Chain A
Amino acid sequence: MSTVNVVHTKERLSGIVQLVGRRPNDVPKRRWESVLVFAFFTVAYSWFGYWVVVDLHVVGFETLDRLNRALMVWHNDPAKLSAIGFDYPPLATLLITPLAVVRSFVTSMAAVPVASAIFAAITMVAFNTMMRRALVAGPLRYALLLALGCNPLLLLYATTGTRHFVWIAFVITALGSLFAWYITADVRWVLLAGISYSVAALAGYSSLTLFVLSAIMVGAILARLGADGVEVEGTVVGFTAPTVYVVALWTVFNFILLWNPFAWITNSSDAAASGGLEMFSAVDLMKATGELVLYGAPLAIVVLPMLIFSGLARGNPFALWLGVMLGASILTPALAVAFRLTDSPMLMRNALPMLLIAVVGAIWLARSAEEGSTLVAGLTVVALVISIPWTLHAMKTYRYQNLEAPFAVAITTGESQEGAETLNGDKVGIVSEQAMAEYIRNNVTSDNSILTDNAQTYAVMMLTGHPEWFFDRVDKSDGPWKEVARDPAGQVDYMLIDTMDNGDLLTKLYPDAAAGNDPQLQAVYKTPRYVLVNVPANYSPNLVTTQDQIQGQPTTDQGSGGS
């Protein structure tokens, strides 16, 4: 047996590139400032969002769907964690479930803006901390945060409850951690970045591209600094382990529950295509990409070449890496179209990560400029301020979008957008859902008494605040639900049907009832989008649809409007 060679701490650490076991040379913690930034943006975005959502009726139905699922997690009969489903990345819903503990917070729709405001505020805290590390002076920091925070594109996604800021917040936090790691060489930041990315991965699958690039960067920078293979491997393992674990776990869940381990990729709303994508030539894609950057993230046009120049000409590897990250975020929408991974090409929301990564790049450039850092930070503020009217104008006319145009009109005119149409032709507004929910709240209060396809009627369910009143596809899974759907008599008292032809399984089974023409299934209440029909105890269905025809997808409408 060989004798162990004992190496004491100092000797052991002498060959390590990163800082371990020593106090890093970092800016002092200023928790109160982070708390203030967080509180300010959470309150501001929530307040602004409440006005936009509740008063101006600019609301994305995807948010209502997630909030309905969150309600089901707590209040369904039985309460079911599986309500979060597989349609969205799981944390996009799971992280907002605390908002649904109190029903009235959801039914009043106050929870809608908060669902995104919190994450947007986290993003702002990450930016503020990054700027502190970049030694940007206080007033300039706050000016930059305000200029960025008032960007209309960011404002839309920060205030209307959308899920995009959920993953973006954690990606920016991860970038902030890597930013700190590069400055301090403290290995702990790599771990925090790894944890942030793992949350981001399950909140938005798009973040995985940035995660892979970051992992490569961590390894490459360590190798460049002279770290040995063990240090590079150990650090990269520490960085990647959380994300690899959560992705593997989610894959196993998909396999166990859906018999398709990669359903989260192939079926998800983040990366799924039904084949209905319009054709883009390479020139079209280049042009669309250019427009996207120009209108959504014009700052990137300046920052990207500067990052690459700084990285290559000045030997600034972190700048180069940020340039690669920014480049990747710019190319991702076009690549998604080229590989036909999306039904929603070149959406304006794709400019959001570009804009935010461009800001990270600008902050890094400010830090790298040393004496000129104030100038760079100041110019960034100016650029962000100038881009506000520019982007706001573009939002009204840009071709590929969700709620951008109604939002822009709403905040410039202060008028409700109820009934307005998006540029995609979707209807905006929730009056129909509110009316149906109001009726149900006043007239139906028995548990599991309303049969409904929750994939289509989630907005009504959410607005009632009582998912336990509905016999939906989550309660006992699809199989039992379909049995009841084929023979509802004696099992439910009502059926809530989406009258628009958009995949409601009950509409397929009972088209006459949906149209109000079924003499046995009398409508007890009707709105332009929904009908609530009574199911008599002696009802005998005369189905026009076979079992095969109701093998519907549980996917919800990912469109912007309520139609």
Chain B
Amino acid sequence: MTSTTPATASTEVRRGARLTDGVDQDLRYLIPEGICRTFRVMPYAAIDGTVLVAAADADDTITAHVVAERIDRPVRLVRHTVNEITAAIDSVYPPQGTEVETPEARRARMQMAQMLTRSGLITDEQLQRAMLEYSRTGDPLGDILVSHEAITEDTLVAALSEMYQMQRVGLSEFTPDMEVARRLPEPLALAFQAVPVAATEDLVLLAVARPLGAEQAAEVEDALGSPFRQLLANRAELDQLIQRVHSRHYAEVSTRLLMETRPEESAHIVISGGQKAGLVILAIIIVVCGVIWPWPTAIGLVGFCSFLYLVVTFYKVRLTMQALGTHLETDVTDEEIATLDERYLPMYTILVPLYKEAAIVPRLVRDINALDYPRTRLDVKLLCEEDDQETVNRIREMQLPPHFHLVVVPDSQPKTKPKACNYGLQLATGELTVIFDAEDRPDPDQLKKAVIAFTRVHENVVCVQAKLNHFNQDQNLLTAWFANEYSMHFELILPAMGAAGAPIPLGGTSNHFITEKLRDLGAWDPFNVTEDADLGIRLHREGYRTAMIDSTTLEEANSQVPNWIRQRSRWNKGYIQTWLVHMRHPMQLLAATGMRDFLKFNLTMLTAFVLLLNPIFWGLTTLYVFTQAGFIEQLFPGIIFYVASALLFIGNFIFVYLNVAGSLQRGEFSLTRTALISPLYWGLMSWAAWKGFIQLFTNPFYWEKTTHGLDDGSASS
């Protein structure tokens, strides 16, 4: 930082440098437009190594500080009139439409700043930080201050009430009259953040988060059917009130929307009647053939399974080779992120399902606040279950700023993560929506990368998937294997699938959606235990696509085998569930996706079946090695033997090497050793696969909850 000296224009006029003479070409872009307009400054000349900066308020210390931080030379603030400076700014940065702050808005902002500083509620430093953020985003100064917890929402409401001469209303202890509260339809209530709190025959008292504009007011009046008076309310309290008033509707929609609007895509029925009949007929055919022609039938089954292995292996190798040969993710550079105009950043909804994870909440809040995204553009929904009072209370106790929204999902079946997400999605105000798990640590620039990626990809891309990996990969062998597997999947397989436009089974978190499209798709299936994978396939069927971005979210890898088995069994159950759902009408799927993507979908989902087959083939191989049993030789004649041998000796190594490749691709060099012994991990995968497969018939909708916090001892389940 360099020193600044205030000076008058007349002094500089005498020295021959005037803003009205024009702005020095080399200096015109020294200060970004937002700062120029917010602080009314413009660098215009350099004399004897000192940069002259025209300023409307040359004595303002905050302005001096901000200017000095951005110019690495001695700076002198030179007082000029507002009109002179505005004209100069407009000449350098020609105004475009609504970008420029109106005089009224500026007056309101300055009034707010003065009110808060004069009353000693904020420090100069806090104001400077807020002003700078304002200069980048153009968001209301008060909201910025609240989001950074410089002032409370109540303080802001009080200040706004003073400025707009409006009454306030406290809603924390308020018990609404539901009939009155529901007079304003839910979409309007949500969009305008407004709830009727009382009514007489000719007037409705309407709690609002912010004063409504003329058009909004007219719309509300039409909906209410009577005049109304606005009462300013705390945003967090108002948000809770809206949820209470409309919770029944939200719960109904989150559970039944997909089931009722697209029953054929819902997993509420595990196996359709047609599928049951088909499976029974197939079983009868196999049994009958097995009785009449035992050996040919057994050889046929072995041949079919070997073929299955072969095509899945070939598909994965092909994908990996594609990913190894090039860089398939949608590229976003650091420079692009740095030059992103934050004024145009969309509102971003972050859905965070939480269940019995009270201990993680402080860390979660810290990590979300660490995201490089204006907090005033964040709409963070902390989705809690009604019966999880510990987490709910923990969040309430923290008195989080209003960009965090506590959402309590009413207790009902199925109690699954997708249902909670559906509930939260109805309250979402963001143009884009992303899901993070409670223990997730996304790269700070991930949201901005997703925003830029959406501007770059084809218009049919409605989801951008970030990569997942683990922060506790070094905890033990299991977590290292898990990291190997994720590295392969997210660094190689998914980027190749994304580039090829194949149906992508989405990862559990860090999938960024265009909210409107997500709603159109019916959101997540609450009955599917891998709702993410299912949604990836559904969006593909609708002609939409998923792209990958080169940004990572770190999760906690399961570090204990029983816990890992639970999680993995759910995944495998969900994969089979998803396959069954989408294969209810194979011809329809084929028509919707085309042959190529139909095959890719099946090859992707077949992975779950391959895991089921593994122990059988390992058993046969082991038995043969030790006994040289003749019947095993008979099971593998000719070409089947070649295929099986190739898979045993080459296919298995390829999968090991894919783990090595994925880890190297990610730059996790310490994991290559563990990747080499990953076949032991496959045993666990098959164990979990069988558990999930059996559960598909015994308890299909049961959500095997994963315990988190095992990495640092704060375990909660």
A contacts, CB < 8 Å to B? 1-4, 6-10, 12-13, 16, 18, 20-24, 29, 78-79, 81, 187-188, 190-192, 195, 230-231, 233-235, 237-238, 241-242, 245, 249
B669 touches A (CB below 8 Å): yes
Q: Could you tell me the distance in whole angstroms from the C-beta of A70 to the nearest C-beta in chain B? A: 13
Q: A1-B713, A2-B712, A23-B331 are in contact. Are A234 and B653 (CB under 8 A)?
A: no
Q: A8-B443, A13-B667, A245-B653 are in contact. Are A238 and B554 (CB under 8 A)?
A: no
Q: Could you tell me the distance in whole angstroms from the C-beta of A79 to the nearest C-beta in chain B? A: 5
Q: Which residues of A contact B324 (CB under 8 A)?
A: 188, 191-192
Question: Could you list 8 examples of A-B contacts with CB < 8 Å?
Answer: A1-B713, A8-B443, A20-B666, A79-B639, A230-B669, A234-B669, A235-B664, A235-B669
Q: Are A21 and B666 in contact (CB under 8 A)?
A: yes
B437 touches A (CB below 8 Å): no
Q: Could you tell me the distance in whole angstroms from the C-beta of B634 to the nearest C-beta in chain A? A: 12
Q: Are A4 and B665 in contact (CB under 8 A)?
A: no
Q: Which residues of A contact B325 (CB under 8 A)?
A: 29, 188, 192
Q: Could you tell me the distance in whole angstroms from the C-beta of A5 to the nearest C-beta in chain B? A: 8
Q: Are B443 and A10 in contact (CB under 8 A)?
A: yes
B645 touches A (CB below 8 Å): yes
Q: Are B327 and A238 in contact (CB under 8 A)?
A: no
Q: Are A191 and B661 in contact (CB under 8 A)?
A: yes
B578 touches A (CB below 8 Å): no
Q: A230-B669, A231-B669, A249-B649 are in contact. Are A6 and B554 (CB under 8 A)?
A: yes
Q: Which residues of A contact B671 (CB under 8 A)?
A: 234
Q: Are B649 and A8 in contact (CB under 8 A)?
A: no
Q: Could you tell me the distance in whole angstroms from the C-beta of B550 to the nearest C-beta in chain A? A: 6
Q: Are B664 and A8 in contact (CB under 8 A)?
A: no
Within 8 A of A (CB), among B323-346: 324-327, 331
Nearest B residue to A81 via CB reads B642
Q: A79-B638, A191-B664, A241-B660 are in contact. Are A8 and B327 (CB under 8 A)?
A: no
Q: Could you tell me the distance in whole angstroms from the C-beta of A355 to the nearest C-beta in chain B? A: 28
Q: Which residues of B contact A13 (CB under 8 A)?
A: 667
Q: Which residues of A contact B663 (CB under 8 A)?
A: 234
B260-279 vs A, Cβ < 8 Å mask (1 yes, 0 no): 00000000000000000000
Q: Which residues of A contact B637 (CB under 8 A)?
A: 78
Q: Which residues of A contact B551 (CB under 8 A)?
A: 9
B538 touches A (CB below 8 Å): no
Alpha-carbon distance A2/B476, docked complex (angstroms): 13
Alpha-carbon distance A190/B664, docked complex (angstroms): 10
Q: Which residues of B contact A23 (CB under 8 A)?
A: 327, 331
Q: Could you tell me the distance in whole angstroms from the C-beta of B442 to the nearest C-beta in chain A? A: 9
B687 touches A (CB below 8 Å): no
Q: Which residues of B contact A29 (CB under 8 A)?
A: 325-326
B468-502 vs A, Cβ < 8 Å mask (1 yes, 0 no): 00011001000000000000000000000000000
Q: Could you tell me the distance in whole angstroms from the C-beta of A244 to the nearest C-beta in chain B? A: 9
Alpha-carbon distance A97/B89, docked complex (angstroms): 75
Alpha-carbon distance A546/B475, docked complex (angstroms): 66
Alpha-carbon distance A443/B673, docked complex (angstroms): 60
Q: Which residues of A contact B326 (CB under 8 A)?
A: 29
Q: Are A21 and B471 in contact (CB under 8 A)?
A: no
Nearest A residue to B649 via CB reads A249
Q: Are A20 and B665 in contact (CB under 8 A)?
A: yes
Alpha-carbon distance A337/B208, docked complex (angstroms): 93
Q: Are A242 and B712 in contact (CB under 8 A)?
A: no
Q: Which of B331, B475, B670 contacts A230 (CB 8 A)?
A: B670
Q: Are B653 and A8 in contact (CB under 8 A)?
A: no
Nearest A residue to B320 via CB reads A191
B403 touches A (CB below 8 Å): no
Q: Which residues of A contact B673 (CB under 8 A)?
A: 233-234, 237
Q: Which residues of B contact A20 (CB under 8 A)?
A: 664-667
- Contacts A188-B664, A191-B660, A241-B660 supplied; 16 other A-B pairs, CB < 8 Å: A8-B554, A16-B669, A20-B665, A20-B667, A22-B327, A22-B550, A24-B327, A81-B645, A191-B657, A191-B661, A191-B664, A192-B324, A234-B668, A234-B671, A242-B653, A242-B657
Q: Are B471 and A4 in contact (CB under 8 A)?
A: yes
Alpha-carbon distance A114/B642, docked complex (angstroms): 24
Nearest A residue to B471 via CB reads A6
Q: Could you tell me the distance in whole angstroms from the C-beta of B644 to the nearest C-beta in chain A? A: 11
Q: Are B665 and A187 in contact (CB under 8 A)?
A: yes
Q: Could you tell me the distance in whole angstroms from the C-beta of B310 to the nearest C-beta in chain A? A: 15
Q: Could you tell me the distance in whole angstroms from the C-beta of A25 to the nearest C-beta in chain B? A: 11
- Nearest first, the 4 A-B pairs at minimum CB distance are A234-B669, A20-B667, A1-B713, A23-B327
Q: Are A16 and B667 in contact (CB under 8 A)?
A: yes
B313 touches A (CB below 8 Å): no
Q: Are B660 and A238 in contact (CB under 8 A)?
A: yes
Alpha-carbon distance A21/B329, docked complex (angstroms): 9
Q: Are B554 and A21 in contact (CB under 8 A)?
A: no
B672 touches A (CB below 8 Å): yes
Q: Which of B554, B660, B665, B712 contacts A1 (CB 8 A)?
A: B712
Q: A16-B667, A234-B669, A234-B672 are in contact. Are A9 and B443 (CB under 8 A)?
A: yes
Alpha-carbon distance A235/B672, docked complex (angstroms): 8
Q: Which of A4, A78, A237 contacts B660 (CB 8 A)?
A: A237
Q: Which residues of B contact A18 (CB under 8 A)?
A: 667
Q: Are B441 and A8 in contact (CB under 8 A)?
A: yes
Q: Which of B550, B661, B666, B711 contacts A4 (CB 8 A)?
A: B711
Q: A4-B712, A191-B661 are in contact. Are A237 and B327 (CB under 8 A)?
A: no
Q: Which residues of A contact B331 (CB under 8 A)?
A: 23
Nearest A residue to B661 via CB reads A191
B607-647 vs A, Cβ < 8 Å mask (1 yes, 0 no): 00000000000000000000000000000011101100100
B676 touches A (CB below 8 Å): yes
B140 touches A (CB below 8 Å): no
Q: Which residues of B contact A238 (CB under 8 A)?
A: 660-661, 664, 672
Q: Which residues of B contact A195 (CB under 8 A)?
A: 657
Q: Which residues of B contact A7 (CB under 8 A)?
A: 471
Q: Which residues of A contact B676 (CB under 8 A)?
A: 237, 241
Q: Are B664 and A187 in contact (CB under 8 A)?
A: yes
B444 touches A (CB below 8 Å): yes
Q: Which of A2, A9, A16 contacts B552 (CB 8 A)?
A: A9
Alpha-carbon distance A12/B669, docked complex (angstroms): 11
